[in-house]
Amino acid sequence: MDALAALPPGGGMIAASCAALGLSRASLHRRKRPARAARPRAKSGRALDANERRAVLDLLREPRFVDLAPAEIYACLLDEGLYLCSIRTMYRVLREHDEVRERRRQLRHPVYQKPELLAEAPNQVWSWDITKLMGPAKWSYFYLYVIIDIFSRRIVGWHVADAETAALFKPLIDDAVLKHDIAPGQLTLHADRGAPMKAKATALLLADLGVTKSHSRPYTSNDNPFSESCFKTLKYQPQFPKRFGCIEDAKLFCRGFFDWYNRDHHHAGIGLMTPDQVHYGQADAVHEARQKILDLAYATNPERFVKKSPNPPNKPTAVWINPPVRKIESKEQIRA
């Protein structure tokens, strides 16, 4: 536009240049035209004066009207035999004082803190949850309670019941704490915000055992990933039935599954070791034995390994639920 404006008038240069650039000559002429100063809008003789506007504002701010919309206030005043101004004028008065917004008191949900839990050894952080198992008839369910150690991925306790209550959780956690010799203050138990997890009975039980409780944020399944992953592994088994004929069938299936899961399932999250190997301190021996096998394979056929000698998957050293996000350092901090 600046280049076109610099062209001399006449000769058809402006028209040709606008056509070549795909610009409108009308836009060019408007650009050359000096801008006119905006004239202030004349005040209507029907407008409220300053005192009347103040009276309307004071009325809108009264306790009985402060939570109401202008249309509701307008109707209430008419029912009381009073008319001050139109609904639109009420909005104008409110806008002048930056009060055109949601005027009602609304419930504010609390800000839930993101759980950040670290386990560097077994029996430091457990996670528990409940999932449904379909029963023999439609709308009939059994409830599977599972406690998992997030460091070793070992199932330290499970129970199948026909109800979902905090009372049924008590014998399960009591037995797990006793079996693994958990000292007061040693363990953190993480769960979502289901009714049994938030129940007062559960909180009192954990306080008596000296166990620290932790909860996920509402509707955030990523805050409880280990329990969710275990349930997916369970329900994606080829042998997992669509329905269980009775509660004994469900217990029998879960007993076989959790025995396999703890003893034989090589978990990718713990260096392709089994939960029992990690939970009972066999990780170093297993890793060392695997390294010897790989060293022997490398010595026998080094040409098969292009970049370097092979190493087994890393041993688990630390497991997080929501690891803290590292803030990117500023350029000034890096230079310092």
Predicted local confidence at residue 104, as pLDDT = 65
Mean per-residue pLDDT of the chain: 89
Distance CA 143, CA 130 (A): 6
Give the pLDDT confidence of 108-141 residue by residue, as tens digits.
Answer: 778 888 999 999 999 999 999 999 999 999 999 9
Neighbours of 243 (CB within 10 A): 15
Quickly count helices (H) and strands (E) in the chain: 14, 7
The answer to whether the CB of 121 falls within 8 A of the CB of 184 is no
142 pLDDT higher than 60: yes
pLDDT of 108 reads: 78
Question: Helices 166-179 & 200-209, crossing angle to 10 degrees?
Answer: 20
CB contact set of 296 (below 8 Å; sequence gap of 6+): none
Pairing of strands 188-191, 212-215: parallel
d(CA 117, CA 256): 30
Percent of the chain surpassing pLDDT 90 = 70
Q: So what's the pLDDT on residue 334?
A: 47
pLDDT digits (tens, 9 = 90+) for 146-159: 999 999 999 999 99
For the chain, domains (ranges, CATH) are 50-96 (no CATH), 117-270 (3.30.420.10), 279-317 (no CATH)
Quick one: average pLDDT of 216-233?
Answer: 92
pLDDT of residue 16 exceeding 90: no
| pLDDT given at position 134 | 96
- Classify 130 as helix, strand or coil: strand
Count of beta carbons in the 10 Å neighbourhood of residue 134: 15
pLDDT at 226: 95
What are the backbone dihedrals phi and psi of residue 235, each rounded to the nearest 5 degrees, phi first? Answer: -80, -10
**Local confidence band at 327 (pLDDT 50, 70, 90 cut-offs):** low
Question: pTM of the prediction?
Answer: 0.68
> Is the torsion defined by CA of 294, 295, 300, 303 positive or negative?
positive
pLDDT in tens, 185-200: 999 999 999 999 999 9
Q: What is the DSSP string of 192-246?
A: -S-HHHH-HHHHHHHHHHT-EEEEPPTT-GGGSHHHHHHHHHHHTSTT--SS-SS
C-alpha distances out from residue 36 to 21, 33, 39, Å:
28, 9, 9
Nearest to 171 by CA among 181, 190, 185, 157: 157
Contact between residue 142 and residue 135 where contact means Cβ atoms under 8 Å apart: yes
Phi, psi of 21 (to 5 degrees): -90, -5
- The arithmetic mean of pLDDT across residues 6-13, rounded, is 73
**Three-state secondary-structure class, residue 283:** helix
